Structure 1
Amino acid sequence: MKLPKPMVPGRLVRRYKRFLADVILEDTGEQVTASTPNTGSMMGLLDAGNRVWLSVSDDPRRKYRYRWELVEVAGPAGHALVGLNTSLPNALAAEAIKAGIVPSIPADGEIRCEVRYGEENSRIDLLVQPKEAPPIYIEVKNVTLSRRPGLAEFPDAVTARGAKHLRELERIARAGKARAMMIYMVQRTDAEACALAADIDPAYMEAWKRATAAGMETVCLACCIDPGQIVANRVIPLEHS
């Protein structure tokens, strides 16, 4: 997936009010306010002075001209680029499926997005309909946390919404008429494996275990990232605790 052009480098001053960040632009030294397309905790990504990349828009309808897209962090395995835009993982997952990156999903299936389903007023991120096989209900989660070298973790904060999605997938799996799948989209260049952060959200971990026991599948995808593009290019293992 191509990132917007131009991409402007800067240094993070602070992130605040969940949706905003102050950044000093590298080329001019000007301090600007950028919208932040990630309302999560962003644990480990918010150190002042971190190098960041902002997309720029001249659309008069946008309140903020700059949007924060990438951050470079000194992670446990060294420096890494991290994609923080939570609107991208669904499209990244769809691209990976069409490219045949996920062996367990037919690459020629029809893909629909944000389809209503379940018992808790949910919308499935991706609904894949293979030509001659049951449909596949897929939830996609954005993963940016890393506390151990090479290991990405989800979630980075308690997520009641995430647990709800697992309950919905559990019901799909138990019904036996379709496949249920969770995709963890790891937007970090230093990740070789993924794990669930049970110490951060034990309830999410228990919901994942129940859904898995019912037949839900889990796939972890890692990304190649640079200031021009983000591509989900490989499956990485899920490390069980």
Structure 2
Amino acid sequence: MKFSAPLVSGRLVKRYKRFLADVILDDCGSAITAHCANPGSMLGLKEVGARVWLSGSDNPKRKLQYSWEVVEADGALVGINTAHPNKLVEEALAAGRIEELSGFQSLRREVKYGRNSRVDILLEGEDGAKTYVEVKNVHLMREAGLAEFPDSVTARGAKHLAELADMVADGHRAVMVFLVQRPDCSSLSLAADLDPAYAAAFAAAREAGVEAFAIGCDVRLDGIDAVRRVRIDV
């Protein structure tokens, strides 16, 4: 995934109200408010003074011209925009980087399923077999090399696990893909101390036959690509 234009650098002043971030731009020293497309806690990624990069928009109808894309943390570039993971996983699937999910004939996004939900990706084979794929963005790292999910309580995430288990019970294949938007993690675990209910729901889903994979990203200032498998330690 390539950014459509060069990113603008700055320093983070604060992230607040979940979807807003105040930034001092490097090139002119101006203070601006950027959109933060990330509903999580962003634990460890919102330190005052952190180096950040923003994408800009020339759409006059947008309330905020800039969107926060990347932050420098722990010596690495980390992608924080949760609008990108579905596209990144779709690109990885098309490139065959998740071998267990290769060979599909069609891929559709945001298909209705479960209890008034939409699955992130629906794969269908020649024989009509369906694979339901949910994608979760990961960028929490509290121990060097170990990615963790979630970074805050996610009742919605637990609901999605239950719905994937329902799809398995109905005779379909169901998969959880954790998209790690940072290059410095080789394994992934569940942050059960932050959300024990999600950890329990994950264990129940795995017991019911839901598969899980994790894929890590190369994060650059010109784009982000999901390129490597990350081991899941649960």
Structure-1-length-normalised TM-score: 0.95
**CA deviation digits over 1:44-92, x for unaligned, max 9?**
0010111000011111010011111100012xxxx11111111110111
**CA deviation digits over 1:10-59, x for unaligned, max 9?**
11010111111111111111111111111211110010111000011111
Q: What secondary structure does 2:151 align onto?
A: coil
2-side partners of 1:90 and 1:48: how far apart? 29
1-side partners of 2:80 and 2:151: how far apart? 13
2-side partners of 1:88 and 1:147: how far apart? 23
Q: Which structure 2 segments of 5+ residues have no match?
A: none
Q: Which structure 1 segments of 5+ residues have no match?
A: none
Structure-2-length-normalised TM-score: 0.97
Measure how far apart 1:131 and its partner are. Answer: 2.1
Aligned to 1:215: 209
Aligned to 2:163: 168
**CA deviation digits over 1:128-148, x for unaligned, max 9?**
012246211000000010000
Measure how far apart 1:114 and its partner are. Answer: 0.5
Aligned to 1:69: 69
Aligned to 2:77: 81
Amino acid at match of 1:85: N
Correspondence 1:110 to 2:106 = yes
2-side partners of 1:146 and 1:154: how far apart? 9
Q: After superposing the two structures, state which structure 1 stretch, 166-175 or 136-145, moved more.
A: 166-175
Counterpart among 129, 138, 143 of residue 124 in structure 2: 129
Q: What secondary structure does 1:87 align onto?
A: coil
Correspondence 1:179 to 2:181 = no
Alignment of 1:27-42 (within 5 A): 27-42=27-42
Give me the CA root mean square deviation.
1.0
Correspondence 1:189 to 2:183 = yes
Aligned to 2:221: 227
Question: Number of residues paired by the alignment?
Answer: 234
2-side partners of 1:53 and 1:180: how far apart? 35
2-side partners of 1:14 and 1:109: how far apart? 45
2-side partners of 1:126 and 1:35: how far apart? 25
| 8 Å Cα contact 1:167/1:211 also seen in 2 | yes
2-side partners of 1:228 and 1:6: how far apart? 7
Aligned to 1:19: 19
Counterpart among 146, 149, 153 of residue 154 in structure 1: 149
Measure how far apart 1:239 and its partner are. Answer: 1.0
2-side partners of 1:168 and 1:36: how far apart? 28
1-side partners of 2:50 and 2:183: how far apart? 16
